Amino acid sequence: MTRLAANLTMLFNEVDFLDRFEHAAKAGFRGVEFLFPYAYRLDDIAARLDASRLELVLHNLPAGDWAGGERGIACHPGRKAEFEDGVGAAIEYARGLGVKQLNCLAGIVPPGVPLEDAYLTLAANLEFAAGKLKSEGIRLLIEPINTFDIPGFILHGTRQALDLIRATGSDNLFLQYDIYHMQRMEGEIAATIKANLPLIRHIQLADNPGRFEPGTGEINYRFLLGMLDEIGYDGWVGCEYKPKAGTAQGLHWIGDHGLHA
């Protein structure tokens, strides 16, 4: 049965971040995810998870100056030390919050940096992070992101991500497959998931166009979510969408698709 995790960066943002855990639990969710925990005390997040009996299934490594437009620094030459410090911070939070997998946002290629240099930097940083996380029993994920929403993002296709995983030689580097992003870049969602299921450890969803909740656009989520059960996907599906008319008002899509939060 599909296990849905509420993305607390995008859902329930009608209330303050630390109050979103309770709202997610009341809506029936048993798992949550979000972009970053680092602006909050670890103990405060842990207390909200415990009080709401929620599992934190995923968050990201630090991604540089997010407010300033950075979307990860793993491909930025000259910031290796900053990236490695970020891996350490992510491990500290993951330990305290019981997180078993972390996502690395690869980043936008910096101006003036040759693409080959950015790729080599990314591969080296992923190899480092995958090794550090493996020693902690934590999986490292990478996520291709569409270049319509984030122009210049270095990792923007499934095949590209799989080649990168092979290039690192790591057995602790896996794919985070975001249906919305890959619908925009590639299509062929069902076939791609089936072909690469052994390397897919987390899936995220949103409809297209608009990145709203399922049922508002062109993606056949009734078919796709049923297929995930049929092929034996046993991970979480993160609800990383923008509520079209408020979080609570839009949650009817779950029942409409024959699911439970």
CATH of 3-257, one of 3.90.480.20, 3.20.20.150, 3.90.1150.10, 3.40.50.300: 3.20.20.150
DSSP conformation class of 153: B
* Active-site residue, selected from the candidate residues 127, 186, 188, 240: 240
- Give the pLDDT score at 61: 98
| Average pLDDT for 210-223 | 97
Question: How many Cα neighbours within 13 Å face the side chain of 135?
Answer: 9
Residue pointed to by tokens 């909740």? 213
CA 182 vs. chain centroid, Å, equals 13
| Average pLDDT for 184-197 | 98
Q: Is the dihedral of CA 240, 181, 140, 127 positive or negative?
A: negative
Phi, psi of 86 (to 5 degrees): -65, -35
- Give the pLDDT score at 64: 97
CA–CA gap between residue 44 and residue 212 (Å, rounded): 30
Question: How does pLDDT run across 114-156, given as a tens digit for each residue?
Answer: 999 999 999 999 999 999 999 999 999 999 999 999 999 999 9
SS3 of residue 252 by DSSP? helix
SS3 of residue 36 by DSSP? coil
* Active-site residue, selected from the candidate residues 143, 186, 188, 218: 143
225 pLDDT higher than 90: yes
Percent of the chain topping pLDDT 70: 100
Show me where the domains of the chain are located.
3-257
Q: Is 143 one of the catalytic residues?
A: yes
Residue pointed to by tokens 């619908």? 183
CA–CA gap between residue 225 and residue 205 (Å, rounded): 10
